Structure 1
């Protein structure tokens, strides 16, 4: 029995020895395993998938968009609202680049009737330039003989140039001391609206005491 076991062990050992000799590559690979080179890790930002980023569009420029479209022209008889506002073909239009007194301010009614006299019986051409903060159409308005209504009102001393909108084009036409005369319009241009509040309060007080 023992002899049989020894014989089997010898045969198994001989078989294993012959099998190792038969596959030398395997033996060499097991004795000298290849060096493992770790794959370099990318920074966190590089590990994120890369997507196509479309070019950032230029910011919308309202003025450029408006200028790209031909400015409309409105023609017709003008109904005068005040010294710097008319209505042509149901469109309320603010005269370009000037400021006239309000109807309840000194010279307000005089400014209105001066503009009425200029426009009476005339077809006015309004070249639209913009829309103001109050949603009113702003236009350069011309009489048939080519006279600019804004310029005419300034020359009459019943309106003043508004450099913020006109770039000072009507400033040379202002009559001497007109800003003292139209002091409320001048105050508005300088952002001194508290002067308007005081004036309106005094007007209301006078009406109540009348």
Structure 2
């Protein structure tokens, strides 16, 4: 009987540690935040500009980088094939997620296109974006 109880406890703990899987349609709040079914999701490993943020291009001309990040995220999740996985929550209780559509990493694509800064993950994508002066890396940003 003790062995059976131990198995039940182990199974419960393993289930608790499993990723939540969420599928769209997603509502895009800003360049790194989605919503689905009343749940807010924060894309993990990257940070996009705030929705109302402006940045400067290579000539010092301002551009709406926050809105551009949101538009790219909208395009990336529009195909209806996007799936997000996560288990941890941030201080605002948003589920921290890694999203993909097929084999394409949504989080990585935002960083690679220069519309988000890597924070822990996606370092190689950021190196490539900086080298090619993509998005934020073309000029100055906060």
Instruction: Tell me how far apart the structure 2 counterparts of residues 99 and 70 of structure 1 sit (CA, whole Å).
Output: 24
RMSD (Å) for aligned C-alpha atoms: 2.2
Aligned residues: 114
State whether residues 101 and 182 of structure 1, in contact with CA within 8 Å, keep that contact through their aligned partners in structure 2. no
Unaligned runs of 5+ in 1: 1-64, 164-168, 185-210
Distance 1:96-1:172 versus aligned 2 partners, 3 A rule: same
- TM-score normalised to the size of structure 2? 0.71
- Report the counterpart of residue 16 of structure 1 in structure 2: none
Residues 75, 125 of structure 1: 8 Å contact kept: yes
Tell me by how many angstroms 1:67 deviates. 8.7
The equivalent residue for 1:92 is 40
SS at match of 2:85: strand
Residues 1:74 and 2:26 aligned together: no
Which runs of structure 2 are paired with 1:1-210 in the superposition (5 Å)? 69-106=17-54, 107-143=65-101, 145-163=102-120, 169-174=121-126, 175-176=129-130, 178=136, 181=139, 183-184=141-142
Unpaired segments of 5 or more residues in structure 2? 1-12, 55-64
- Flag the 1:142–1:182 CA change in 2: closer, same or farther, 3 A: farther
Helix, strand or coil: the match of 2:25?
strand
Question: Normalising by structure 1, what TM-score?
Answer: 0.49
SS at match of 1:130: coil
- Report the structure, 1 or 2, having the larger helix content: 1
Structure number having the greater strand percentage: 2
Deviation of 1:118 after TM superposition, in Å, equals 1.1
| Post-superposition offset of 1:122 | 1.8
Q: CA deviation at 1:138?
A: 0.6
